[in-house]
Amino acid sequence: MVLSVILIAAQSGGLYLTKVATLERAYYLHLPDRWFEVLHEPHAVPAAVLPAGGAASAAWPLPIATMRYVAQPGDNLSRIKDRFGLTLDTLSSLNRDAGSGVHNVGVGEVFAIPNQDGLFREVESRDHLETVAASYGLAGSDVLAANPGVDAQSVSGSLFFPGAQHSGLERLLRMGLGFDRPLHGGRVSSAFGMRVDPFSGKWRMHRGIDIAAPRGTRVRAAADGRVERVASNNVLGNFVVLDHQARSYQSLYAHLSAVHVRVGERVSTGNTIGRVGSTGMSTGPHLHFELWSRRQPINPASEVPGL
């Protein structure tokens, strides 16, 4: 749809344009200039992008290009995606990747706006690229065509997957709607981030959030997932790790007095997986709760409503 609009804009203007950034300029021309802060031209696009034969013979996929949009009063992600004819998946993939939710859009905040729908995903190698592409019904060559300048042999890093969209839980997670509180009740007794360690007295990273609650309180799965690990050590005590959406996210529940799940078991949001306790390095009954995204600990308070 975006492609056809671009072509119409270019043809009706009698122009032969060779840069996507220029095409975007044509497409977005009906919006005031002051709404756009930086025109980003990552790649010069071959003239073949605009074939003489028109849309029917247009090359697909279109090389990715983005521009930047400055949020206006009253904007939210939904309004912005409507304004540019994009999906929420596309917009959140580019702008809310760490899962900061879709609700809070500040006036003046700058958003990356792509010239087509799709998702950015990290890949580690050419083989991995093929695997991820296949999961979206794409060929690796489609993805490479959308990412000009990427060396086909030594592929790694963030690539644009044209037309790819999330499904199910992953969409909810990306939008900050996927997680529920792991405890009903309780009180946050220690936040995520640097703190003085209560045992060593040293300044250390606290990778999760502590929620104080009576011993035996039900600990619930924060999202649909699969039990990846049930174990015990002298720091975390008895703990459970859940895997959500093929390791896009993981959650960890520590210091449990009892564990009610086994490795490999599937759980749904709200299912009881164990009980609050004080096992391991703990000064009293509480749940130590961690969330990980792409192998990095993230602040649960930014993902879980009400934490």
Question: How many residues lie near Zn ion (CB under 5 A)?
Answer: 3
Nearer to Zn ion (CB atom), residue 148 or residue 297: 297
224 scored as a contact of Zn ion (CB under 5 A):
no
Rounded to a whole number of angstroms, the minimum distance from the CB of residue 196 to Zn ion is 13
* Angle (CA) 237 240 246, round 5°: 150
Rounded to a whole number of angstroms, the minimum distance from the CB of residue 190 to Zn ion is 6
Dig out the tokens for 16 from the structure: 């032969």
Rounded to a whole number of angstroms, the minimum distance from the CB of residue 211 to Zn ion is 9
Cβ neighbours of residue 245 closer than 8 Å, sequence gap 6 or more: 168, 169, 170, 173, 225
Specify the stretch interacting with Zn ion by CB under 5 A; choose among 44-52, 99-107, 205-213, 227-235.
205-213
Dig out the tokens for 205 from the structure: 């990273």
Nearer to Zn ion (CB atom), residue 244 or residue 288: 288
Rounded to a whole number of angstroms, the minimum distance from the CB of residue 38 to Zn ion is 41
Specify the stretch interacting with Zn ion by CB under 5 A; choose among 115-123, 136-144, 244-252, 280-288.
280-288
**Strand pairing class (218-220; 209-212):** unpaired
Rounded to a whole number of angstroms, the minimum distance from the CB of residue 222 to Zn ion is 15
Site string for Zn ion, 155-174 (x = CB under 5 A): --------------------
Nearer to Zn ion (CB atom), residue 134 or residue 205: 205
Q: Which of 141, 138, 103 is nearest to 117 (CA)?
A: 138
Specify the stretch interacting with Zn ion by CB under 5 A; choose among 108-116, 200-208, 243-251, 297-305.
200-208
Dig out the tokens for 71 from the structure: 């949020």
Q: Which of 190, 179, 138 is nearest to 306 (CA)?
A: 179
Q: Which one among 288, 299, 303, 307 touches Zn ion, defined by CB under 5 A?
A: 288
Q: Which one among 24, 89, 170, 210 touches Zn ion, defined by CB under 5 A?
A: 210
Cβ neighbours of residue 211 closer than 8 Å, sequence gap 6 or more: 182, 183, 186, 187, 188, 189, 286, 287, 289, 307
C-alpha Rg value of the chain to the nearest Å: 23
Which residues, in sequence order, are bridge partners of residue 118? Answer: 162
165 residue type, one letter = Q
Rounded to a whole number of angstroms, the minimum distance from the CB of residue 227 to Zn ion is 21
* Distance between CA atoms of residues 236 and 288, nearest Å: 8
Contacts to Zn ion by CB under 5 A? 208, 210, 288
